[in-house]
Structure formats: structure tokens, C-alpha cells
Structure 1
Amino acid sequence: MILKNGKIVLEHKIIEKGYLVIHDKKIIDIVEGTTDEFGVDLKGNWVLPGFIDCHVHGGYGVDFETGDTNRFEHFALNVGKEGITKYCQASITNSLGFTNKIYKEFGDFMSKSNKQGAICLGAHMEGPFISPAKKGAHDPKLLINPDIEITKHWNELAKNNIKIITYAGELQDGSYTKYLIENDILPSIGHTDMLAQEFDKDWKLGVKHITHLFNGMSGVDHYRPGLAVAALNHDDVVVEVISDGIHLQPEILKMIFDHKGPDKISIITDAMNAKGLPDGEYKIGQLPVIKTGMKVALKDSGVLAAAGATYDHNVRVYYNTCKMEMTDLIKMTSINAAKQLNVYEQTGSLAPNKLADIVVLDKNLKVLKTIAEGRVIFENNEY
């Protein structure tokens, strides 16, 4: 396959007009200029590395918990329309018995060789090891302190496919953090009421990732600085950002971008099963929620409950808010997540010998085509 006449965004430069040669799953060559060889004419549109959402629960009627045993396949087949080529699917807090069931089913899905659509890199376990004070849309009756043995069991059921775990650092003494790092699971502090200075314990052990900055955490209080302050002050920490324009206001998005810079931001959706569906009543776990537009909130309290926005929407919001360079944008959509998940040698940027994970966008950053490992998984029929 040849993709030609595209504006190609590489890690350190932009090729104003060039073409990519793809064979099997990989990019074989990236060339500046034009070619007379047969190929897909991109008509001057943007060519970026495929988006990586490292924190998404679901969408299109399914999530980690909702739907039949084909729910993981259903999500993978639909999420390509957002420009996503790789993702980590997130679970929420459930009973221990139900969590056993869903991680067994997830492990079975991950072991299948005939996957289609976007590629799941593994699970992001968000809960039950979180603070009741910052529970968000998690059932407080089911929360427990970080537990190594329980985590081992769930990861065994998942066939060692748990890649990220969100937990409240103050609920453990550092031993849980050490366990995650020693077992190549990305530790991410979130849903926590910890003080900024308390974060230093886990940071010194190697924690370099924060779950959805500002949401579900202690914040900026000059008398009681919380995790949000620590996340902004540590230059080597990557922060997830839900840039849907609902979870964070434009002034906060600008502050994060100016303070952290594009090298330490990872755009996520945190989307749940109602993404892509009509407005109405749904459930996250066992908790009733109401979806209105791209906003999802708990029915009884109005507290935000995950999200209803697509990844490409969040990309457009952040880009239009801060007007960053496209070479900076791809760090926030692909490169940083790939590095955090230790897959950057294979994906996350456009380069020869890397997987052909590609998204084609128009001038307004609307998705025209998505290619995952050399397979076209979405095409805009109007293009």
C-alpha cells in the first residue's frame, strides 16, 4: 500500500508533501515528494501516527463490564472511527467475584490471534484500590486498599495483560508501588486525597504517571497542596488529560500545556459505554448515569462519571485551545503513551520499520482514514 500526497507529521519535522510505503504490518519507507506509482491519494491532508488512548472504558454500547463476551471485539471494531489504533481498556470498581469474571473474559479476548479493528494493548485497572474521599463514579462500598495478592490473581486471569493500575498512593506504604514496577505494570496515582509531599515517596520509587489530572484528586490549595500540585511540579511525570472541554476548562488546559509541555501530556477520553450513543440513561458499573451530549454524570448526584466524548474530539479541543505545533500534538496523542507503555520501538510515531499505525485527518482534524498495523479499519465515505 502507498499513501501519497500527504502532509506527514514526523517526530521532529513535517514533510509538506510526501508518501508512505506500507508492506504487511509495517511502514517500509517515508519519502518526501511525489510518486507516479499507484496509491491512495491523500489530497494534501494530514498524516499522523495513530492515536493511543491509554485510558478508555468503552463506547458504542459496551465497556469492560457491559455487554456479552464479544464486547471487547465490538469496541475494537468501532473505536477506529476516532483515529485510535492502540488503546488500554479500563475497568472500574466491581465486586471481587465479578472482577474475577471480567478479567477472565478479558484474558480470553487478549489471547485470540485473529483480532480485528484497533489493537488493545492491555487493561487499565481503575479501582478498587482508590480513596473513598475521591471516589468519583466508583461504588464506595466496594473500595479496598491496594493488595498485591489480589492484583496477582487478576493479572493471572487476564493472562498478564494488566498494563496500568490507578491507585491511591496514600493507602499503601510503597510496597504496592514496588510490586507494580518490578512486574512491568505502569503505576498511576489517581482518585487520591494525598498531599503533594506524600507523592514524593512513590515518585522516588519510580511513579511517573498520573491518572486524569485534576479529576478525582486533591487539588491546588495553598494551605493543603494536593496531587495536582505535585504532578505539575515534577518535570518527569506524564499526566493524563481529559480534554473534552467538560472535565477541564480552557484556562486549565492552557495551564497544563504551559507548565508540563507537550512531552509530558497524554490525551485520554476516559469514555464509557454511552459514547457514540443517543442521550439518555445508562449505567457505569451498577451506578445509573445520564448522558447529555458528551457529558455523562451520575443520576443521583450530578458528579461526572467517566465521559462521552470521542478521542478525535478531545484532540481538536486541545489543539484549538492551545494552537500547538503538529509535532507537539503527536506527542500528546501517540508518542508519550507509547513510551509510557514501553511500545515506542514498535509504534507511536511514523518511521520506517515501525508498525503502520496511521490516522489521516483533514484540515479541521476530522478523521478521514485509520490504519492499524497496515489494515484500514475506518474510512470516511464522504472523503
Structure 2
Amino acid sequence: MKIVNAKVFTPEFIFKDGEICVDKEQFAAVSPDVSKIDAKGLYAIPGLIDIHFHGAVGYDFMDGTKEALRSIAAYEASVGVTSICPATMTMGKEDILKACANARDFKPDDKCSSLVGINMEGPFLSAQKLGAQNPDFVMKPDAEFFRKAQAASGNKIKLLAIAPDTENALNVIAKLKDEVLCSIAHTCCDYDTAVKAIAEGATHLTHLYNAMPPLYHRDPGPIAAGSDANWCEAEIICDGIHVHPAAVRAAFRLFGADRMILISDSMMACGLEDGVYQLGGQKVTVTHRKALLDNGTIAGSATNLFSCMKTAVQKMGIALESAVRCATYNPARSIKILDKVGTIEPGKQADLLLLDDNLDIKALLLRGKWLFNEI
């Protein structure tokens, strides 16, 4: 199959008129299938990659069931997120191990996103910056428990959240930096502690601005430490609720589009109506897409990654090329799956979205097959 006349997002992060060949499940230099799809006037971008979210359509990754994981993966595929790396929560050890083991042998069907990893967000967090994480299950960082979870997952854990200000955190980062991408998260750490954590190997910041000290001119904290280290990257939630548009633009200036990663941090309410839901065993009330614990704490998002990317462009002033890069190439590079997904190149998995000028999805290719095509 050949897709012609599209404005193709290239590995150089620009749009260029061109054509795309697909052979079975991969992009190819040529295709034995002579059929053509005319994508005139449409943008062609890689399938999106969400490396930090918890659930959707009434299910949570921590449910630890095949039904939950399949339902989440099917929803994400339907909204253009073709590769997923769902996150754990701060819950009991057995719950974490169950969720990891459930993901171990997940095989997507034709309607499901590819499971490309696990983000272990809890339980090694600061009790003072938990956000929506459950305080009953916080643990000090423990390399051996991480390794137990990693073994249960079949080595699927790609990201590990650690608060550098907690007991033994820097030692654990140093021990694990060659085994997993360590991320500064849910922390009260100051600038100097964050610098030490980055030097030990924590080169990622979890949902920038959220659950960390703010950027203050006499006490700049982990945001400035991450910006100073040009090998450190940062996630950001662009749902229009977690971070003000001006702060999103400031983050892109601090880190550059090459180091920003768009995430959704969505919870089970994503894709559903307002109502009462659960996150990490805690009640969450969602009103007008805003998810809150009973104490008023924002509890994840109710917005998928594609909608976050669209919001970043249409309401926050982020260039389309930058937003696409930060939802495709950058997350793939971050968790070391860029050899498989993240760009439209021969040999890569054929995940692709065709968008109109309003950035609405007109067609969606999932592993070489049309999930839908309205052209």
C-alpha cells in the first residue's frame, strides 16, 4: 500500500510533501501492494506514544486483569495513541507485582495499542508530595523490590519514579541507572539534591511542575536543575488543567522541544462522562474533565494524549512540529524503543495518523492495518 500526497512528518521534525509505503506491519521503501490512498491536504504523523498514564474507560492498569489492559489498549488505539507505557500507583507490593505480571505476556489484538513498557510511578515517593498517590503504601527506595517487580514484568519496566529527598534514594538511583530510566518525581528536593540525583543517573522529570517544588528565584529546585543538565528530559501534561499555557511555553523555552515529552497522566475516567471514579484505591470526582480527590488534590487527568497534543498546539501556542515530536519521537527515544516506533521510516512499525487542518484524525493505521479510514 502507498499513501500519496500527504504532508509527511519527517525524522528531521518538519512536514514535507511525500508518499509513504507500507508492507505488511512495517513502513517500507517500496511496497508490493500497488493500492494507493490519496491523503491530499492531510498531515501524516507517527502514532502517538504515551509513557505516563494510568487508565481509561473505567479501567486502571493497577486492576491487573487482562480485560482491563485490553480495554485500555483498545481505547488508546482508537484515539491515536498506538504505543502505551502505563503507570503503576503507590499501592501494596502484591498489587504492584500483580499489575506487572499481568502486563508480561500482553499481546495486542488488531484493535489494541502495542504495550511497549511500564512506568513504575509508585511507591518510592515523598510523603509530602504525593499528589493523588496513596500515603498508606509509600516506601523508601528499594532496589531489590524494583528488581522483583521487573522480573514479574518480564523486563517491561522502562521508567522508575524516585523522590531524591527520600532515604537511600541517591544510592538506589546509582544502583539502578543502568537497569531502568530513573525519574525525579513526587519530591520536595531542592536544587542541590536534584543536581546530585541527576549526576547519579536520574535524567528524567515526572510531570514537570506537578508534585515538585516550584521554580523560585532564590530556591530554584528540581525544575532548574533539570533545565541546567542538557541531557535531562521532562514530561508535561497539556490538558489545560494541570499546567497553565504560559508555564507550558516557559517549559519549552527552558528545556527545548528536543527534551520535552507530552504525557496524559490519564486515569480511568478518560473517555467517559463526569462522575465518581477510583485511582490507587482513592475516590476521584471528575467534573468538566477535572479530576479531584476529596481534599481538592488534582488526581491525574481525564484527557488522552492526542487531545493533550491538540490542546498544546491550538490553545497553548506550541508549534505543531514540536508537539508532534514530543508525543512521538521523544518518548520513543526516552524509553529506548526508537528502533521500532516514533518516526515514519522504512523498517519501523506502521503506526500512522492522518490529520486534517483542524488536527482531527481522518484515518488511523495500526501496525499496517486501517483501524479506521474516513478519507
Fold similarity call, TM over 0.5: yes
Q: Give, in whole Å, the separation in 2 of the partners of 1:373 and 1:133.
A: 43
Query: Quick one: structure 1 residues 42 and 281, their matched pair in 2 at CA, closer, same or farther if it must change by over 3 Å?
Result: same
Q: Give, in whole Å, the separation in 2 of the partners of 1:162 and 1:182.
A: 13
Alpha-carbon shift at residue 266 of structure 1 (Å):
0.4
1:331-370 maps to which residues of 2 (within 5 A)? 331-370=325-364
Higher mean alpha-carbon deviation, 115-124 vs 249-258, is at 115-124
Asked whether the equivalents of residues 262 and 323 of structure 2 are also in contact (C-alpha less than 8 Å), the reply is no
Query: Quick one: structure 1 residues 139 and 211, their matched pair in 2 at CA, closer, same or farther if it must change by over 3 Å?
Result: same
In structure 2, what is the equivalent of residue 17 of structure 1?
Answer: 17
What SS does the aligned partner of 2:186 have? coil
In structure 1, what is the equivalent of residue 103 of structure 2?
Answer: 106
> Which of these residues, 269, 276, 279, is aligned with residue 281 of structure 1?
276
Asked whether the equivalents of residues 50 and 81 of structure 2 are also in contact (C-alpha less than 8 Å), the reply is yes
Identical columns (%): 28
1:53 aligns with 2:46: no
Q: Give, in whole Å, the separation in 2 of the partners of 1:10 and 1:265.
A: 18
| Aligned residue identity for 1:289 | V
Asked whether the equivalents of residues 70 and 108 of structure 2 are also in contact (C-alpha less than 8 Å), the reply is no
Query: Quick one: structure 1 residues 108 and 115, their matched pair in 2 at CA, closer, same or farther if it must change by over 3 Å?
Result: farther
1:233 aligns with 2:228: yes
Q: Give, in whole Å, the separation in 1 of the partners of 2:209 and 2:118.
A: 22
Q: Give, in whole Å, the separation in 2 of the partners of 1:66 and 1:40.
A: 40
Alpha-carbon shift at residue 154 of structure 1 (Å):
1.1
Q: Give, in whole Å, the separation in 2 of the partners of 1:243 and 1:367.
A: 19
Asked whether the equivalents of residues 132 and 143 of structure 1 are also in contact (C-alpha less than 8 Å), the reply is yes
Query: Quick one: structure 1 residues 15 and 228, their matched pair in 2 at CA, closer, same or farther if it must change by over 3 Å?
Result: closer
Query: Quick one: structure 1 residues 275 and 16, their matched pair in 2 at CA, closer, same or farther if it must change by over 3 Å?
Result: same
Q: Give, in whole Å, the separation in 1 of the partners of 2:274 and 2:133.
A: 22
What SS does the aligned partner of 2:322 have? helix
Query: Quick one: structure 1 residues 97 and 325, their matched pair in 2 at CA, closer, same or farther if it must change by over 3 Å?
Result: closer
Q: Give, in whole Å, the separation in 1 of the partners of 2:229 and 2:25.
A: 37
Unaligned runs of 5+ in 1: 32-36
> Which of these residues, 54, 61, 64, is aligned with residue 61 of structure 2?
64
Query: Quick one: structure 1 residues 220 and 177, their matched pair in 2 at CA, closer, same or farther if it must change by over 3 Å?
Result: same
What SS does the aligned partner of 1:204 have? helix
TM-score, normalised to structure 1, is 0.91
Q: Give, in whole Å, the separation in 1 of the partners of 2:183 and 2:267.
A: 19
Kindly provide the CA deviation profile for residues 208-239 of structure 1, in whole angstroms up to 9, marking residues without a partner as x.
Answer: 21100000111123343321222233222110
Q: Give, in whole Å, the separation in 2 of the partners of 1:325 and 1:11.
A: 16
| Aligned residue identity for 1:93 | T
In structure 1, what is the equivalent of residue 324 of structure 2?
Answer: 330
Query: Quick one: structure 1 residues 30 and 92, their matched pair in 2 at CA, closer, same or farther if it must change by over 3 Å?
Result: farther
Unaligned runs of 5+ in 2: none
Query: Quick one: structure 1 residues 228 and 13, their matched pair in 2 at CA, closer, same or farther if it must change by over 3 Å?
Result: closer
Kindly provide the CA deviation profile for residues 161-213 of structure 1, in whole angstroms up to 9, marking residues without a partner as x.
Answer: 11111110122252211232222x11111100000111111211232211000
Asked whether the equivalents of residues 53 and 87 of structure 2 are also in contact (C-alpha less than 8 Å), the reply is yes
How many pairs does the alignment contain? Answer: 373
| Aligned residue identity for 2:342 | G
Higher mean alpha-carbon deviation, 261-270 vs 38-47, is at 38-47
Query: Quick one: structure 1 residues 91 and 15, their matched pair in 2 at CA, closer, same or farther if it must change by over 3 Å?
Result: closer
Q: Give, in whole Å, the separation in 2 of the partners of 1:67 and 1:346.
A: 26
> Which of these residues, 239, 244, 259, is aligned with residue 244 of structure 1?
239
What SS does the aligned partner of 1:90 have? coil
1:176-187 maps to which residues of 2 (within 5 A)? 176-183=172-179, 185-187=180-182
In structure 1, what is the equivalent of residue 306 of structure 2?
Answer: 312
Q: What value does the CA root-mean-square deviation take over the aligned residues?
A: 2.1
TM-score, normalised to structure 2, is 0.93
Asked whether the equivalents of residues 367 and 380 of structure 1 are also in contact (C-alpha less than 8 Å), the reply is no
Q: Give, in whole Å, the separation in 2 of the partners of 1:41 and 1:173.
A: 54
Higher mean alpha-carbon deviation, 16-25 vs 134-143, is at 16-25
